[in-house]
RNA sequence: UGCCUGAUAGUAUAAUGGUAGUACGACGGUUUUUGGUACCGUUUGUCUAGGUUCGAAUCCUGGUCGGGCAACCA
């Protein structure tokens, strides 16, 4: 164990267990999603924790689908979950399903009935809720609680055989109706659902509840450390009770605080709503905090793993600043993304003293962060260039290191130019900038002796290719939409997507590949959208560059 | 008015009775053919009131504040 970083509280538990010789030092974790939605960045935290723990302690991790509620689940979700876990860079030991254990779990239930620890209850959901009492008043037993073992056995078999409609009966644990912990007031173990299951089909019409499936599945797999989020703390006594009564492998549950990210929502229910109501395009809309959305946005697996490492693991409720996620992707992409030039908001710049029709080939390294620049590429230079509109000002303020009449800048990997003049249209908009270039200032063999403060990017007008660019901003206008009054959707950011139809890009960008990040110099990191075509290139902005220039 | 949890800079996270540290952010500077990167520096913290102790973020007691729990969801 490295001494470099201190351990989080779960690592401490694991190390204590190993030191104590528990489970012969074996570590087996599991990642247990319900296949009822797409994975999001919060799941990434759990994935990194579970798989990371196993990697660190020579253990393994199972991927187990908690598929005990057929009406909400689907193979579409199973497939996406597998893809996302793999993409994040993890390999599971076994792909398992709670539904694989339905026979076994049924036997567990029968065993408890035989011991008088479970009974069939004919009450309605409302009646059961009422009989449970309140946090301050104990619950009251009903007539069904005292049914004989034989009757319960028969009734439960009949439930399984499909003799009753949905809701007619449930199987309950006979525990303690006065327990201060509401979860112990005779919790439901099985309910009737005549529903088609995505894996078991119509084989079953009764399905176990979470509390009678999760711990049992853990035990069947001999999971040593079952990690879940804080809201399951009150379930732990039940988790332990069932395992204890059944005499099965004693998996242990430990709880950590789930990830909350500001300016977004993280519940599957809310994310589903954003999709179905059309507030976003799909589950993998680049504005979504889903793994697939982040992937399409241009986030890398390494950056997400790094993020999960940095946020830490503790029991305190937290709200992580999305700025940290952005830091992680910038840090990664800065080292890997090739640099290219693209002008998002173009204005024409004419070099009045440059020969008409002449074309020069300029060179630029792919990545200045790499030792050898990661190689270089060529791009054409000519008399007319597209430059960024914001790189020119009619009345430049004091520390404006760009263009304005009389000011000089360097064109990246090309010449220094001086702004002489500009042209306006009838509405007063600047339409053209006239500059003269300094022939002796060519990049690579500059003998001008002139130093300029600013360097701007450009694209040669006759050689430029075009692309569509999509700029994304935070999905919500407030840090925590679900804590605000009213509907969380009232706080959606109306400007979360800004589509720029025509952007001028240097010719080489026409060869961009999907999934390969690129930095548009001075503008940010971009990646080709998964639905981009050769006819119509579409780039997504992953994240802006940090902007240290404060106007004013 | 029940039970369970938690509380350390703006945000996270360490310190496990012995110098409150790290990261991100913010601010300032150096370098720079990206106002990026890199590097340097500055800034801000133990919820509260008592107690134990030579010594408390840490242990004890009371309080305050936050989160969770009464789905045939997970």
> Considering only CA atoms, which residue is closest to the C1' of nucleotide B74?
A210
> Is A546 annotated in the active site?
no
Read off the pLDDT of residues A226-273 as tens digits, 9 standing for 90 and up. 999 999 999 999 999 999 999 999 999 999 999 999 999 999 999 999
Read off the pLDDT of residues A11-22 as tens digits, 9 standing for 90 and up. 999 999 999 999
Place of tokens 């270039």: A437
Read off the pLDDT of residues A73-93 as tens digits, 9 standing for 90 and up. 999 999 999 999 999 999 999
Say which nucleotide is closest to residue A169, CA to C1' distance. B72
Mean of pLDDT over chain A: 96
In a 10 Å sphere around its CB, with 0-12 CB exposed, 13-18 middle and 19+ buried, how is residue A91 labelled? Answer: exposed
Neighbours of A178 (CB within 10 A): 13
CA–CA dist A272, A76 (Å, integer): 14
Q: Name the pLDDT band for A550 (thresholds 50, 70, 90).
A: confident
Q: What ranges in A4-122 are assigned the alpha helix state H?
A: 9-19, 41-56, 75-87, 102-114
Bridge partners, residue A64, by sequence = A96
| Torsion angle of C-alpha atoms A391, A396, A397, A403, degrees rounded to 10 | 40
pLDDT at A515: 87
Read off the pLDDT of residues A282-337 as tens digits, 9 standing for 90 and up. 999 999 999 999 999 999 999 999 999 999 999 999 999 999 999 999 999 999 99
pLDDT at residue A1 tops 70: no
Q: Tell me, what DSSP letter sits at residue A79?
A: H
Of A169, A191, A252, A268, the catalytic one is A268
Cβ distance A441 to A448 under 8 Å? yes
Say which nucleotide is closest to residue A135, CA to C1' distance. B2
Of A26, A56, A258, A348, the catalytic one is A258
Give A473's contacts (C-beta < 8 A, 6+ positions apart): A493, A495, A496, A497, A498
pTM: predicted TM-score of the whole model, two decimal places: 0.96
CA A51 vs CA A35, A47, A58, A413, A462: distances in Å: 19, 6, 10, 45, 52
**Which bases of chain B are contacted by protein, using any atom under 7 A from a CB?**
1-8, 10-16, 23-27, 33-38, 66-74
CA A372 vs CA A34, A365, A367, A412: distances in Å: 47, 8, 8, 18
pLDDT at A3: 44
Cβ distance A503 to A469 under 8 Å? yes
Cβ distance A249 to A219 under 8 Å? yes
Helix (H) or strand (E) holding A272: helix A268-276
CA–CA dist A25, A224 (Å, integer): 10
- Phi, psi dihedrals of residue A465, rounded to the nearest 5°: -100, 170
pLDDT at residue A508 tops 70: yes
Neighbours of A8 (CB within 10 A): 15
Chain-centroid distance of CA A173 in Å reads: 38
* Tokens of residue A70, six digits: 């057929």
Place of tokens 């009935």: A113
> Is A34 annotated in the active site?
yes
Read off the pLDDT of residues A358-381 as tens digits, 9 standing for 90 and up. 999 999 999 999 988 899 999 999
pLDDT at residue A2 tops 70: no
Contacts 24+ apart (CB under 8 A), A305-312: A305/A44, A305/A48, A305/A88, A305/A89, A306/A331, A306/A332, A307/A41, A307/A44, A308/A44, A308/A45, A308/A47, A308/A48, A308/A49, A308/A52, A309/A48, A311/A45, A311/A259, A312/A8
Of A15, A22, A26, A34, the catalytic one is A34
Cβ distance A320 to A433 under 8 Å? no
Instruction: Pick the closest to residue A392 from A406, A373, A413 (CA basis).
Output: A406
* pLDDT (mean) for A435-459: 95
Q: What is the 3-state secondary structure (H, E, C) of A195-250?
A: CCECCCECCCCEEECHHHCHHHHHHHHCCCEEEEEHHHHHHHHHHHHHHHHHCCCC
Q: How far is the CA of A6 from the C1' of B23 (A)?
A: 13
CA–CA dist A358, A269 (Å, integer): 60
């Amino acid at each position: 164990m490295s001494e470099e970083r201190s351990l989080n509280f779960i690592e401490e538990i694991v190390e204590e267990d190993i030191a104590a010789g528990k489970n012969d030092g074996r570590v087996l974790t599991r990642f247990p999603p319900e296949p009822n939605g797409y994975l999001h960045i919060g799941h990434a935290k759990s994935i990194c924790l579970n798989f990371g723990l196993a990697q660190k302690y020579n253990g393994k991790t199972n991927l187990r689908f908690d598929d005990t509620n057929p009406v909400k689940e689907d193979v579409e979700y199973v497939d996406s979950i597998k893809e996302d876990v793999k993409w994040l860079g993890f390999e599971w030991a076994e792909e398992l399903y709670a539904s694989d254990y339905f026979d076994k779990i049924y036997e567990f239930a029968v065993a408890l009935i035989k011991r008088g620890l479970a009974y069939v209850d004919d009450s309605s959901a409302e009646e059961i809720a009422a009989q449970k009492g309140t946090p301050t008043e104990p619950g009251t037993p009903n007539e069904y609680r005292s049914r004989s073992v034989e009757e319960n056995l028969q009734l439960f078999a009949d439930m399984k055989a499909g003799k009753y409609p949905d809701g007619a009966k449930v199987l309950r644990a006979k525990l303690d109706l006065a327990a201060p912990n509401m979860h112990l007031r005779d919790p439901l173990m099985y309910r009737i659902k005549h529903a088609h299951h995505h894996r078991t089909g119509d084989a079953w019409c009764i399905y176990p509840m979470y509390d009678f499936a999760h711990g049992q599945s853990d035990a069947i797999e001999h999971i040593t450390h079952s990690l879940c989020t804080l809201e399951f703390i009150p379930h732990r006594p039940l988790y332990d009770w069932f395992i204890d009564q059944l005499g099965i492998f004693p998996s242990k549950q430990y709880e950590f605080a789930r990830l909350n990210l500001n300016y977004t929502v993280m519940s599957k229910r809310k994310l589903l709503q954003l999709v179905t109501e059309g507030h976003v395009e799909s589950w993998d809309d680049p504005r979504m905090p889903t793994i697939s959305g982040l992937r399409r946005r241009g986030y890398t697996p390494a950056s997400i793993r790094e993020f999960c490492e940095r946020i830490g693991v503790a029991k305190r409720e937290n709200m992580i600043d999305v700025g940290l996620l952005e830091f992680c992707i910038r840090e990664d992409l800065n080292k890997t993304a090739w640099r290219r030039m693209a002008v998002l908001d173009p204005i024409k710049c004419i070099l009045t003293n440059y020969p008409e029709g002449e074309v020069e080939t300029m060179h630029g390294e792919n990545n200045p962060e790499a030792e050898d620049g990661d190689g270089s590429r060529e791009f054409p230079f000519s008399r007319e260039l597209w430059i960024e509109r914001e790189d020119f000002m009619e009345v430049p303020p004091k520390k404006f290191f760009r263009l304005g009449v009389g000011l000089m800048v360097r064109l990246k990997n090309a010449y220094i130019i001086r702004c002489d003049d500009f042209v306006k249209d009838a509405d007063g908009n600047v339409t053209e900038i006239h500059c003269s270039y300094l022939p002796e200032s060519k990049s690579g063999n500059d003998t001008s002796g002139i130093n300029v403060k600013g360097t701007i990017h450009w694209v040669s007008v006759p050689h430029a290719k075009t692309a569509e660019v999509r700029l994304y901003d935070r999905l919500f206008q407030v840090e925590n939409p679900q804590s605000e009054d009213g509907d969380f959707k009232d706080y959606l950011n109306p400007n979360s997507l800004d589509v720029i139809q025509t952007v001028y890009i240097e010719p080489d960008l026409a060869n961009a590949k999907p999934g390969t990040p690129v930095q548009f110099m001075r503008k940010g990191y971009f990646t080709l959208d998964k639905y981009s075509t050769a006819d119509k290139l579409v780039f997504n902005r992953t994240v802006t560059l940090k902007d240290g220039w404060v106007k004013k």
